[in-house]
């Protein structure tokens, strides 16, 4: 389930609004928080992979440029031409990966904001406040912490979901090789 699916799921929860009890809303929001954690973990991993790819692409572009310069110094025009061609392609790849990393950072930041908003809604629903009801004005009436039991449960579910996702990925990967 990707972040768009989670958001659509949340939209359905909020549309149900007063038709469900705050306890049911809290349980549903807890599940959504688990899904968010898994999604954020996957986004973080994808961003890390892209940053590594970017680092390799930058090194390759620098290597091609260096080889072209060395070939120019010895008068090897064919190698200079090839090095220029590869340098241009490598720089194009660097530009693409730089944009990709920027988009992934933005998407991760947006997912983290959505997670925090959902967490606040979960906290309200856990205290019996309906989703569409205004939040209490008294800061003492709305603590900013999820109980340690709920946090532990969400962390456990997130770990289990991550393991399930990884297992599914490996099954697909090895299934394709047979």
Radius of gyration of the chain (CA): 24
Q: Are 126 and 119 in contact (CB under 8 A)?
A: no
- What's the rounded Cα separation, in Å, for the pair 7 and 36? 9
Q: Give the list of residues 6+ apart from residue 50 with CB closer than 8 angstroms, or none.
A: 97, 100, 101, 104
- What's the rounded Cα separation, in Å, for the pair 147 and 32? 16
- What's the rounded Cα separation, in Å, for the pair 96 and 51? 12
Q: Are 131 and 5 in contact (CB under 8 A)?
A: no
Output the pLDDT for position 49. 95
pTM of the model: 0.60
Domain around 22: 3-177
- The token pair at 162 is 């991550």
Nearest to 54 by CA among 105, 96, 109, 108: 96
- What's the rounded Cα separation, in Å, for the pair 67 and 65? 5
Q: Are 132 and 25 in contact (CB under 8 A)?
A: no
What is the number of domains present in the chain? 1
Q: What is the pLDDT along the chain (178 residues), one digit of tens a residue?
A: 566 766 666 666 666 555 566 677 778 888 888 888 888 999 999 999 999 999 999 999 999 999 999 999 999 999 999 999 999 999 999 999 999 999 999 999 998 999 998 888 888 888 877 655 444 444 444 444 556 555 655 666 666 666 677 777 677 777 765 4
Nearest to 99 by CA among 60, 47, 42: 47
How many other C-beta atoms can be found within 10 angstroms of the C-beta atom of residue 127? 13
Q: Are 124 and 142 in contact (CB under 8 A)?
A: yes
């Amino acid at each position: 389930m990707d972040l768009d699916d989670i958001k659509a799921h949340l939209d359905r929860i909020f549309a149900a609004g007063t038709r469900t009890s705050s306890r049911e809303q809290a349980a549903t929001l807890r599940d959504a928080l688990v899904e968010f954690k898994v999604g954020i973990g996957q986004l973080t991993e994808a961003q890390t992979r892209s940053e590594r790819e970017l680092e390799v692409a930058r090194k390759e572009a620098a290597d091609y440029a260096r080889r072209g310069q060395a070939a120019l110094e010895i008068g090897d025009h064919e190698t200079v031409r090839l090095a220029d061609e590869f340098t241009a392609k490598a720089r194009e790849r660097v530009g693409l990966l730089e944009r990709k990393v920027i988009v992934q950072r933005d998407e991760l930041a947006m997912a983290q904001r959505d997670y925090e908003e959902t967490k606040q809604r979960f906290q309200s629903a856990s205290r019996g406040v309906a989703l569409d009801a205004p939040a209490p004005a008294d800061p003492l009436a709305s603590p900013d912490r999820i109980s340690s039991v709920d946090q532990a449960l969400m962390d456990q579910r997130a770990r289990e979901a991550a393991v399930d996702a990884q297992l599914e990925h490996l099954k697909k990967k090895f299934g394709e090789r047979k």
